Chains A and B, each alone.
Chain A
Amino acid sequence: MVPLHPQRCADEPDLLRWVIPADLLESVGVVAAAPPPLAGLLADGTLAELRLEPAAVLTRLGPRHSWGDQGPRVRGALHAALGEPGGWHVVPDSGERVGDTELRTLTQQLLDGPVGQFAAAHGGRIDLVDVRDGVVTVRLAGACNGCPAARSTLHGQLERRLRQRYPALRAVVDHSPRLIRPAPR
């Protein structure tokens, strides 16, 4: 059975993000056709929308349904459908720039959120410099700069969390004088 768990999406109660293994389904975009049980949920209006994202399936609940009632059904259908990755047909989002936009948003969210807080707590700061072709460039500033331990900690945190949310990430690059090694794996 494919590892799978749901997460809520902020401010959108009818949208649910099902986190799946990053290497299971490579494409990103709206799901046009899925294996039977899942397709059935789309057909009968239980689900209004089905989208693939890096390492996640997004499901939008149809009107007059609740996750409390339909959640287990959707989960079961997803398990069945993910068991046959070949049955998924996805209309890819156009162009690579879309991916970069998403990656930029994700990075900014992290820098505004937990990673930024962590840096601040240690007297440092991370600024986003650029996102291009799946490579994120940041600049470490403040007390962190010059401390190799702090830098690798920060770098590691940002990269790991980004990769969870955006597995197509190629590398996180440090724009500070000293270059951090590109992401392994």
Chain B
Amino acid sequence: MSNSCHESGQPAAQLTQLPQVALVGAPNAGKTSVFNALTGLKAKTGNYPGVTVSRFAGTCRAGDRKFAVEDLPGSYGLDPVSLDEQVLVDVLDGDGMRAPDALLIVVDATTLRRSLGFVAQVLARGLPSCVVLSFTDELLRRQGAVDVDALSQALGVPVVAVVGHRGHGIAELREQLLDWRDWPTPVIPPPVDPGERDAWVESVLSYAGYRVAQPHGLTRRLDAVLLHPLLGTVVFFAVMVLFFQTVFALAAPLQGGVEAFFGVLSEWVAAHVTNPWLSGLLGDALIGGVGGVLVFLPQIMLLFLLISLLEGVGYMSRAAFLMDRVMGRAGLEGRAFVALLSSFACAIPGIMATRTLPSAKDRIATMMAAPLVTCAARLPVYVVLIGLLVDPAATFGPFGLQGLVMFGLYLLGAVSAMLAAWAFKKFGDRRSQPTPFYLEMPPYRLPSPRAILLAVWGAASSFLRKCSTIIVATTMVLWLLLNLPLHSTEQMQATGVDTADSAAVSAYVVDHSYAAEVGRLVAPVFDPLGFDWRINVGVLSAQSARETFVATLGQVAAAEDPEDPGDALRAMTYSDGPRAGEPVFTAPTIAALLVYFAFALQCMATVGVIRRETGTWRWPLVAFGYLTVTAWLMAYLARTVTAFFVG
């Protein structure tokens, strides 16, 4: 430490002036928990220059000094077979960006025989390195052993044992970081030749008194059932049913609570804010709009809770294994299943989960398919529309008809997603090499509650951010569009409106608003689908985020009949055009709307994420284009077919 105080005295203000420490390691090695423990969860996410693989960086304090810490993409080797791995190599080479000053090589202590091969490749790069031995608690529990000092002596670099998610060994790691300039390096870099490397690994392990962890008994027993060709499949479908059952059944009371809260808030505003303009803006636009969307917060949090639980326990790899062949039909691989499953919550985490796919082609195909999977944001739209379409008492056999329609829409989403993936894989870039499929089966583990809460919180906060920005903005703008321009009483009386009847006034204002003008402007496009200008406004406003549709329809209906918006929807008639006077929400129109929402990419956040993950505007534009066109065509088909049956 004495001769390493190059930055003595001056508190390094800039992140770039700090020593850069990078974490490298295999997927599943525990890199992220070490990263979280070091940086205290204050990670900054961004992108690598050029390519757009996500970059996680944070700062870590050790003693009186600070370090910039970066979590590099996980890999089993340094010969890249995917985009992420190319990034890893580029960073280590300092190609296009600053190379790290020191490396922390995170290694799963229970898979040392394989992992030391990776350590050998990293050490051969010659950067100051320290090996971080994770899952040491598990090694001991399973009767394994390793002498950390002897391992360090044999490798020629410092070795620190940690239990990342518990924070054990992290203090020691921080202390070790202080001396990074003085870390010993191997006299001779480990061998490159695979045979010599195996011999090196064998020798190092034997010197370190390595005793292999016993096979995890519980994992063996569980896998005998969960991966059984027949039983495993049954359990898999049971897990999936239970998964969605939990999400929807458990979320319902919570959603009721949120609804009730906003109801009370809205009443309070109505009672205490006297200015009709302010009251409308606050009550209808802000509280109504945001409340209508926040209702889905419990569901999104539950979905993320379950997904990260399944992931943390280790079942997701098993699901990927079981589903690989099926996904293979669509030209994808098992891991894409996890991405598509996450898309049931929201396409955004689903698209982000495509990072685990080693093949760029698979990533693109999965990203193009993910927006088709029925995400939670579609749910409110479906609930409202199905409520208008199907009588709640109607049954089909033992099942409620409403539920069956909902199930059908979920099925439609899943099947069309698979078809889309297949098409993109088949007609996409044919020159690219197929990437190999491999997937580690980690032992079943109890996930750390911290990691799970973190995942849920991350999802909840990004959803809240979306609400507080995009959705608030669109509902406000929409409210203004629906209520402007202002009409004088004389003007209305001149056209024969009874200004004493508030409902008539509202109807007149909405009908002559800017929003109506916009809705009528796009009418030629949506006329064949049976949409009137009010639905058009809803569809257009839903372009930013699907949930907005419910809020918009609510606003339009509330504007026409503030007492009972539900009835107003049902009673809504075409105000002009050839169909003037006929009811708007007929079965064919509702079917067309449902199908339109099933296909259309009405989510600016998804467009943004695809842009971020692919690094180009090409793919978000492709996705937007093909999904919008398909949505229109399928909606037209749905309208025609429904009209044929209903008559």
Determine whether A and B are in direct contact in the complex, meaning some CB atoms lie less than 8 angstroms apart.
yes
Which A residues form the contact surface with B (CB < 8 A)?
Answer: 1-8, 13, 16, 19-21, 67-68, 71-72, 74-76, 79, 114, 160-161, 164
CB of A4 within 8 A of CB of B200, answer: yes
CB of B203 within 8 A of CB of A20, answer: yes
Query: Could you tell me the distance between the alpha carbons of A72 and B188 in the complex, rounded to whole angstroms?
Result: 7
Query: Could you tell me the distance between the alpha carbons of A114 and B153 in the complex, rounded to whole angstroms?
Result: 12
CB of B209 within 8 A of CB of A75, answer: no
Query: Could you tell me the distance between the alpha carbons of A20 and B204 in the complex, rounded to whole angstroms?
Result: 10
CB of A7 within 8 A of CB of B149, answer: no
Query: Could you tell me the distance between the alpha carbons of A7 and B190 in the complex, rounded to whole angstroms?
Result: 11
Which B residues form the contact surface with A (CB < 8 A)?
Answer: 147, 149-150, 153-154, 156, 184, 186-191, 195-196, 198-200, 202-204, 206-207, 209
27 sample A-B contacts, Cβ–Cβ < 8 Å, listed by A number: A1-B195, A1-B198, A1-B199, A2-B199, A3-B199, A3-B200, A4-B200, A5-B154, A5-B200, A6-B187, A6-B188, A7-B154, A7-B156, A8-B184, A16-B188, A19-B154, A19-B207, A20-B203, A67-B187, A68-B188, A71-B187, A72-B188, A75-B196, A76-B196, A79-B196, A160-B209, A164-B150
Closest chain-A Cβ to B186's Cβ sits at a distance in Å of 8
Known contacts A4-B200, A19-B154; is A67 also within 8 Å of B188 by CB? yes
Q: Which residues of A contact B198 (CB under 8 A)?
A: 1
Query: Could you tell me the distance between the alpha carbons of A5 and B147 in the complex, rounded to whole angstroms?
Result: 16
Query: Could you tell me the distance between the alpha carbons of A8 and B204 in the complex, rounded to whole angstroms?
Result: 14
Q: Which residues of A contact B188 (CB under 8 A)?
A: 6, 16, 67-68, 71-72, 74-75
Q: Which residues of B contact A161 (CB under 8 A)?
A: 147, 150
Query: Could you tell me the distance between the alpha carbons of A76 and B199 in the complex, rounded to whole angstroms?
Result: 12
Q: Which residues of B contact A6 (CB under 8 A)?
A: 156, 186-188
Q: Which residues of B contact A21 (CB under 8 A)?
A: 203, 206
Nearest residue, chain A, Cβ from B204 = A5
Q: Which residues of B contact A71 (CB under 8 A)?
A: 187-189
Q: With A4-B199, A161-B147 given, name 19 new contacts (CB 8 A).
A: A1-B195, A3-B199, A4-B200, A5-B154, A6-B186, A6-B187, A7-B156, A7-B187, A8-B187, A19-B203, A67-B188, A68-B188, A71-B188, A71-B189, A75-B196, A76-B196, A79-B196, A160-B147, A164-B150
Nearest residue, chain A, Cβ from B199 = A1
Query: Could you tell me the distance between the alpha carbons of A3 and B196 in the complex, rounded to whole angstroms?
Result: 8
Query: Could you tell me the distance between the alpha carbons of A7 and B184 in the complex, rounded to whole angstroms?
Result: 12
Nearest residue, chain B, Cβ from A8 = B187
CB of B206 within 8 A of CB of A3, answer: yes
Closest chain-A Cβ to B151's Cβ sits at a distance in Å of 11
Q: Which residues of B contact A16 (CB under 8 A)?
A: 187-188
Query: Could you tell me the distance between the alpha carbons of A5 and B186 in the complex, rounded to whole angstroms?
Result: 10
Most chain B Cβ neighbours within 10 Å, of A4, A5, A72 = A5
Closest chain-B Cβ to A16's Cβ sits at a distance in Å of 6
Query: Could you tell me the distance between the alpha carbons of A7 and B209 in the complex, rounded to whole angstroms?
Result: 16
Known contacts A75-B196, A79-B196, A164-B209; is A4 also within 8 Å of B156 by CB? no
Nearest residue, chain A, Cβ from B184 = A8
Closest chain-A Cβ to B127's Cβ sits at a distance in Å of 15
Known contacts A67-B188, A75-B191; is A5 also within 8 Å of B150 by CB? no
